[in-house]
Amino acid sequence: MEYLMAKIELSNISHTYNPNDTNPTYALNPFSMTWENGKRYAILGPSGCGKTTMLNIVSGLVRPSKGKILFDEHDVTDLITEERNIAQVFQFPVIYNTMTVYDNLAFPLRCRNFTDQKIKERVKSVSDTLRLSSFLNSPARKLTADQKQLISLGRGLVREDVAGVLMDEPLTVIDPDLKFRLRRNLKEINEQYKTTLVYVTHDQNEAMTFADNIIVMDQGEIVQVGLPKDLFEKPRTTFVGYFIGSPAMNLFRSEILSDNSIKFNNGTIKTKTDLSKIKDKNVKFGIRSEFIKIATDQKENIVSVKVTRVEDFGNFKLITGKAGDLEIKSKVEREIPISTEELKLHLPAEKCCIYSNEMLVN
């Protein structure tokens, strides 16, 4: 039985690669998640955080140590890859060396007994999208690395009825210009065919521009699932704040002073967060450098810093300053003149995030 265009549900999944040890180390800690049909998801996280394991569990290459996978409410945990109707693209091109480009692209369809007519049609459509049409009859092994990766990608996209296309950093070997176009193509394919796309990456820009929903992972743990905007403005943990955004979020050790203010350097910073329920007075305070502006006539939340470095990125300037021992970064428009000595920065209260035990306080 095949599951076409399905909602994918991961229920209480966890996985360890050494289940027989007395203290198994978990590549994936227990989690549950649902991938709606037809949406684009990006899984974002540093290397070794369990992204690939998660994909392999969904495609059936790895059987989870615990938990269930449901495609449209049907339990597929025990089904082998072949029976799951999933497409997966790996980080490095995997091509069938002995076949032509056409045969490579047609292979997934042939395995599933599509008619020649249908195969021709699909291969043509996919090869047009990926600009492989002129190579269709050449042996696949003669192509360059990025063309080979396009073939891998093409094999993933050639079946339009799949439950999902899982991509494991598929564009690593492709040059930036083509990368940009391909990402847009993937989006178009998703919009046109309503194929669920899951995209693993460690590049936040890729994730942000590609996905409806971003899943941030760290050390086998799902730390936050949300829209790009949420991840940027309200990172749920300090890790997300640190990992998302360039530069990383400004994070400082701090102490709670009152129900809505904390200590910063020798001054006080007001926040919109209710801090009355937190027992541990030691917290972390985070703010995006994008939200820190040079103070004009504000009265509160002013920090005066000694400028140590100004970097011009062309479209903005990045100011690094020191307030006491604390280093603070601020992104400002490049037209604004910056005094090289002292600077007063304004930290808007509504943009301040407070973290207790590395978790965001709401």
Partner 1 sequence: MEKLYKFLKYTFIILWTVFIVAPFLWAISTSFKDFQSVNSKVTYIPWLDFEPTLEGWRVLVKSPARGGVDIVEPYFNSLFVTCTASLISIVLGTLAAYALSRFTFKAGFVRNNDITFFFISQRIMPPIVLSIPFFIFLSTIGLLDSLIGLVVVYIVLLMPIAVWIMVDFFNRVPKELDETALIDGCNPYQAFYKVVLPNSIPGLIVAGMFCIIFGWIDFFFAFILTFTEVQLLPVKVVALNSSITPWWSLSASALISVAPLIIVAFVVERYLSKGNLSGALK
User: Can you tell me which of 155, 183, 236, 329 binds partner 1, judged by CB under 8 A?
Assistant: 155
Nearer residue to partner 1 within complex by CB, 80 or 359: 80
By CB under 8 A, which span of 64-72, 108-116, 175-183, 303-311 interacts with partner 1?
108-116
By CB under 8 A, which span of 56-64, 228-236, 256-264, 272-280 interacts with partner 1?
56-64
H-state helical runs in 236-300:
238-243
* Nearest distance, CB of residue 90 and partner 1, angstroms: 5
* Nearest distance, CB of residue 181 and partner 1, angstroms: 23
User: Can you tell me which of 32, 48, 75, 80 binds partner 1, judged by CB under 8 A?
Assistant: 80
Contact call for residue 357 and partner 1 (CB under 8 A): no
Contact call for residue 63 and partner 1 (CB under 8 A): no
Nearer residue to partner 1 within complex by CB, 82 or 333: 82
Residues 260-299 that bind partner 1 (CB under 8 A): none
Contact call for residue 108 and partner 1 (CB under 8 A): yes
User: Which residues are registered as beta bridge partners of 100?
Assistant: 139
In whole angstroms, what is the distance from residue 159 CA to residue 157 CA? Answer: 6
Task: Mention every residue, 6+ apart, whose C-beta is less than 8 A from residue 128.
Answer: none
Nearer residue to partner 1 within complex by CB, 201 or 250: 201
Count interface residues toward partner 1 (CB under 8 A).
Answer: 26
User: Can you tell me which of 118, 141, 181, 344 binds partner 1, judged by CB under 8 A?
Assistant: 141
Nearest to 2 by CA among 163, 136, 191: 163
* Nearest distance, CB of residue 274 and partner 1, angstroms: 49
Q: What SS3 class is residue 356?
A: strand
User: Can you tell me which of 145, 227, 302, 336 binds partner 1, judged by CB under 8 A?
Assistant: 145
User: Can you tell me which of 14, 16, 53, 88 binds partner 1, judged by CB under 8 A?
Assistant: 88
Per the CB < 8 A criterion, the answer to whether 332 and 317 are in contact is yes
Contact call for residue 95 and partner 1 (CB under 8 A): yes
User: Which residues are registered as beta bridge partners of 10?
Assistant: 33, 69
By CB under 8 A, which span of 90-98, 178-186, 192-200, 337-345 interacts with partner 1?
90-98
Nearest to 74 by CA among 164, 159, 15, 6: 6
In whole angstroms, what is the distance from residue 130 CA to residue 105 CA? Answer: 11
Nearest to 346 by CA among 327, 325, 328: 328
Nearer residue to partner 1 within complex by CB, 112 or 253: 112
Contact call for residue 53 and partner 1 (CB under 8 A): no
Per the CB < 8 A criterion, the answer to whether 308 and 320 are in contact is yes
Binding mask 109-138 for partner 1 (x = CB under 8 A): --xx--------------------------
**Cα end-to-end distance, the chain, whole Å:** 45
Contact call for residue 96 and partner 1 (CB under 8 A): yes
Q: Can you read off the two tokens belonging to residue 361?
A: 């306080």
**325-333: long-range pairs with CB below 8 Å, 24+:** 325/265, 326/252, 326/264, 326/265, 328/250, 328/289, 328/292, 328/303, 329/247, 329/250, 329/289, 329/292, 330/289, 330/292, 330/293, 330/294, 331/247, 331/289, 331/290, 331/292, 332/293, 332/294
Q: What SS3 class is residue 3?
A: coil
| Binding-site ranges for partner 1 (CB under 8 A) | 59-61, 80-82, 86-88, 90, 92-99, 107-108, 111-112, 141, 145, 152, 155
